Structure 1
Amino acid sequence: MRYGINPQQAAARAVPVDPERVPLRVLRGRPSSINLLDALNSWQLVREAARTLGRPAAASFKHVSPAGAALAGPVDEATARPYGVDAASVGELTSAYLRARDADPKSSYGDFVAVSHQVDVELAQLLTRVVSDGIVAPGYAPGVLEILAGKKNGAFLVMEADPAFEPPEEESRDVFGLRLVQERDRVELSEALLADVRVGSLSEQNRSDLLLGLAVVRHTQSNSVCYVRDGQTLGIGAGQQSRVDCTRLAGAKVDTWWLRRHPLARALEFRPGVRRQDRVNWQVRFVEGDLTDDERARFREAVEGDPGTLDAAERDAWLAGLTGVSFVSDGSLPFRDNVDHARRHGVTCIAEPGGSIRSGDVEDACRESGIALARTGVRLFHH
């Protein structure tokens, strides 16, 4: 490999457990350890999501967790405009990636891309216009590798996954002189996990979104939670020691996603020469509403005319219009505060393992808020 986790760890290599069965191969570029971890985790996510839900899936990974993930589906103007695509005519695979990247476009800067199906020319051309480090997919259509060859001056990583590969029954890792060995998690994600509905009822769309959320948290650094709506993540909380902190952080991302659809945010016009990612970042900072004095001056230099202001009352009124959001937790909700925070972000159904000593309080909170609750009975921690 190019290096390990950090550049100073120059002596780094990846060794197949079974030389006869390799999960992926490098077609272009030279990966680091993080690149490979992103590729392996993201490929598992999109493969599982596509298998479970029968639609093309995509993920945008950063530091071994998804910034966003989505199934193929409709692309709205707020998603399409930053990337110069026609929302009405975009293909399925490209729509999946656009929807995945749109969950947290600021974090997706320099992402690792994963898609469940063969990369076509349309997606390859889109990738030439965004900042990303590499892609993993089960194949590439004719001409695609040539399109990607010039990205990052030829350093863009292109990896091909074997869709038929199944890992060994045991997995291991070495940590500070100890080798940890465990049985591979073989729980299948299916609607059977959503059979135990304790509060309310689940629609077909709820079940689909909850299953996508389960696939996402399964491949996200724990503690993790995920907000999903109409086949795309709106906010993912990863790696926090407190679950409610994950819920709040991911909820803030949901609010940002929804506020980017406010008329004032959609009406922002930028001066010529402002780069694509800078436009995305400025839109995010505009709707977040806490620009520093320095940022405010630079923002006014970047936009045309008077952008207006999203005051607190207008923000609250717009956020109140978001509904139909599903919420998934990789572990049991230990307190009702997770439900109380989640309902602020349009959540109408929750899936979590249950089994906490305060699961009754969680159930009561869902009942009080009119939120459907499914108990999966399965913990999906990932470290």
Structure 2
Amino acid sequence: MPVDLRPIARALVSVSDKTGLVDLASALAARGVALVSTGGTRKALAEAGLPVNDVADVTGFPEMMDGRLKTLHPKVHGGLLAIRENPEHEAAMLAHDIRPIDLLVVNLYPFEETLRAGGSFEHCVENIDIGGPAMIRAAAKNHDDVAVIVDPEDYAPFLAELEANNGAATLATRRRLAQKAFARTAAYDAAISNWLAASLGEATPPWRAFGGKLAEPMRYGENPHQSAGFYLSGDARFGVATARQAQGKQLSYNNVNDTDAAYELVAEFDPARTAAVAIIKHSNPCGVAEGPSLAEAYARALRCDPVSAFGGIVAFNRRLDAAAAREVVKIFTEVIIAPDADEEAIALVAAKKNLRLLLAGGLPDPRARGLTFRSVAGGFLAQSRDNAVVDDMTLTVATKRAPSERELADLKFAFRVAKHVKSNAIVYARDLATVGVGAGQMSRVDSSRVAAVKAEEAAREAGVTESFAIGSVVASDAFFPFPDGLLAAASAGATAVIQPGGSVNDKDVIAAADEAGLAMVLTGMRHFRH
């Protein structure tokens, strides 16, 4: 049976991240724990005046090969792997002069940080740790006898445990630390393997792994009976994961999911070209608009569906200013996300104590490569991110009438938005603002009708007798399989259409567009979003 309390008499400390190192080692040394260390860690401890033994003195071999070889030795791994009170193991330790190691403190070469910083291939390779993961796994396997720490956040709790137990660590703590250690090396190896797959251009490697670090446990998941946590993958992509929460209560699972959807959508609009705002409800946009200022863009986005915007998520593509903040706080809003915010804007939002304000530090690049994944029973689906942008597409005029310059601008705008609407997706837009959105319907014609109804309701809400869809353009995320969806848009008042094309009935759809006097352009690329 495992022993509950294991005294800590000897520790091997070798860390890349020196945060809290000297405080930890000082506390251990004060308890009489013998310290063994390597390279820069040993130097830092020695400069702090702490007694520390070089691992080279333990192994009898100097550090060599530019530091690639220093801890891969039986006198290190034997000290970590030996089962205490096992006569055979004890005899082997005695015969080969192997002393037990009771505590391993290791954090790994900063591979993920090097990758995020855009390091060269060779630099990334040199930041792949070998000895660290090997020691971590050895100590974690033998957690009945050895404690392993891979995260500076665990230093203080571990020292508190030693204080409470007269210098010993409990089995429960050793087991918890072992779980974290295995998860850390798994995430580390996942980052390396995915980087190599991307470097090789391998879209579907035979094995695929993902890992992440807990950012925060959530109160619950999509529903109160579901547990959930928010994990950071380490990707260099601005968004909820990089954001500083300036104020407001804790984010929920649904808040994170919806805020991500809002920010990815608004990032489609280059802030150097225009101000843009996206309002999201249940992962779908209920209003998106461009404008000369954030405040004006917000007002135009809100006009599209002010009822659904209540309790929504608002994303800005520029630094939030006071004028825009003043408008947002007029109705109940769950989350605001922007690259940054003025102090006056922050103060205005702070008046709503539950309203979360997230400052992401930048916008995600809509053209960037990356992976998305989704769980299914018994596995998961992984795919490259949809990084197609309408500005990079070759648009083909399919109808007798070509769109006007104003229609073309609105068509591109609408297709940007349709990319972020759950399929089947239909988006009506006019003057660079959505006027009706149809999302997630089982048929495209139903999405067209829903969007048209939304446009009529928005007009009534604004005190306008004529539907906002009249004179609009319409975007479809995928081809029209039959003319009916297109004709529903024409009946609602749309004058031009943008869609991928590719249906076996394209000729019939184009003929119907010509008969209705519509201009239609084809993108040749669809944006299904399930």
TM over 0.5, shorter chain:
yes
1:190 match: secondary structure: helix
Instruction: Report whether the alignment pairs 1:15 with 2:235.
Output: no
Q: Distance in 2 between matches of 1:165 and 1:332?
A: 28
Percent identity (aligned) = 32
CA deviation vs aligned residue, 1:292-351 (integer Å, no higher than 9, x gap): xxxxxxxxxxxxxxxxxxxxxxx7xx45x9643110000110111112111122211000
Deviations 1:3-39 (A, max 9, x none): 3211222x32111211666633241331112111111
Distance 1:344 1:39 in 2: 34
Partner of residue 192, structure 2: none
3-state SS of 1:101 partner: helix
Residues 199 and 366, structure 1, Cα contact 8 Å, conserved in 2: no
Aligned to 2:511: 364
CA RMSD of aligned residues (A): 2.1
Aligned-partner Cα distance in 2 for 1:42–1:98: 16
Contact 1:59 1:100 in 2 (8 A): yes
Alignment of 1:67-82 (within 5 A): 67-72=286-291
Q: What is the aligned partner in structure 2 of residue 269 from structure 1?
A: none
Give secondary structure in 2 for the equivalent of 1:48. Answer: coil
Aligned pairs for 1:276-291 within 5 A: none
Q: Does the aligned pair in 1 maintain the 2:398–2:521 contact within 8 Å?
A: yes
Residue 260 of structure 2: aligned partner: 40
Aligned to 1:178: 379
Rounded to whole Å, the distance in 1 between the matches of 2:328 and 2:469 is 30
Measure how far apart 1:46 and its partner are: 1.0
Q: Which residue of 2 is the match for residue 346 of structure 1?
A: 493
The answer to whether structure 1 residue 190 and structure 2 residue 405 are counterparts is no
Cα pair 1:68 1:100 within 8 Å, conserved = yes
- Return closer, same or farther for 1:119/1:362 CA change in 2, 3 Å cut-off: same
Distance 1:14 1:48 in 2: 25
Q: Closer, same or farther in 2 for the Cα pair 1:364/1:236, shift >3 Å? A: same
Equivalent runs, 1:207-226 vs 2, <5 Å: 207-226=408-427
* 1:25-83 per-position Cα deviation (integer Å, ceiling 9, x unaligned): 241331112111111111111111235x921110111000001111115xxxxxxxxxx
Q: Determine if the alignment matches structure 1 residue 30 to structure 2 residue 250.
A: yes
Number of corresponding residues: 307
**Match for 1:104: what amino acid?**
D
SS in 1 for 2:306: coil
SS in 2 for 1:49: coil
User: Is this contact kept in 2: 1:228–1:327, CA < 8 A?
Assistant: yes
Query: What do the CA deviations read for 1:182-238 (whole angstroms, capped 9, x no partner)?
Result: 112221221644244433112222121111111111111111110000011010000
SS at match of 2:309: coil
Assess, with a 3 A threshold, how the Cα gap between structure 1 residues 150 and 198 changes in structure 2: closer, same or farther: same
Q: Which residue number in structure 1 is paired with residue 529 of structure 2?
A: 382
Q: State the distance in 2 between where 1:325 and 1:105 align.
A: 19
Q: Kindly provide the CA deviation profile for residues 121-167 of structure 1, in whole angstroms up to 9, marking residues without a partner as x.
A: 1121222211111111111011222221231xx22111122425456
- Paired residue for 1:159? 358
Q: Which runs of 5+ in 2 are unaligned?
A: 1-217
Equivalent-residue separation in structure 2 for 1:163 and 1:199 (angstroms) = 43
- What does residue range 194-209 of structure 1 map to in structure 2 within 5 Å? 194-209=395-410
The corresponding residue for 2:335 is 134
Q: TM-score scaled to structure 1, two decimals?
A: 0.75
Q: CA distance change for structure 1 residues 155 and 62 in 2, over 3 Å: closer, same or farther?
A: same
Distance 2:313 2:496 in 1: 30
Give the residue type in structure 2 aligned to 1:122. Answer: A
Secondary structure at 2:442's aligned position in 1? coil
- Which whole-Å CA distance do the structure 2 matches of 1:22 and 1:327 have between them? 30
Change (3 A) 1:324 1:345: same
Cα separation, 2, equivalents of 1:19 and 1:372: 41
For structure 1, the 5+ residue unaligned runs are 74-91, 267-314
Is the CA contact (8 Å cut-off) linking 1:191 and 1:211 kept in structure 2?
no
TM-score (normalised: structure 2) = 0.55
Q: Is the 8 A contact 1:199 1:363 kept in 2?
A: no
Tell me, yes or no, if the aligned pair for 1:326 and 1:348 is still in contact at 8 Å. yes
- In the alignment, the residues of structure 1 paired with residue 412 and residue 269 of structure 2 have an alpha-carbon distance, to the nearest angstrom, of 8
AA partner of residue 509 (structure 2): V
Partner residue, 1:120: 321
Q: CA deviation at 1:252?
A: 1.0
Cα distance change, pair 96–2 in 1 and its aligned pair in 2 (3 A):
farther
Larger Rg: 2
The answer to whether the Cα contact below 8 Å between 1:354 and 1:375 also exists between their aligned partners in 2 is: yes
2:484 alignment partner in structure 1: 337
Once residues 40 and 260 of structure 1 are traced to their aligned partners in structure 2, the CA distance between those partners, rounded to angstroms, is 29
- Distance, in Å, in 1 between the alignment partners of 2:232 and 2:392 is 34
Residues 218 and 381 of structure 1 are in contact (CA less than 8 Å); yes or no, is this contact kept in structure 2? yes
Evaluate the alpha carbon distance shift between residue 35 and residue 114 of structure 1 in structure 2; reply closer, same or farther with a 3 A threshold.
same
Deviation at 1:254, TM superposition (A): 1.5
Q: CA 1:199 to 1:258, structure 2 compared with 1: closer, same or farther past 3 Å?
A: farther
Q: Counterpart of 1:302?
A: none
RCO comparison, higher one (Cα < 8 Å, 6+): 1
Matched, 1:94 2:295: yes
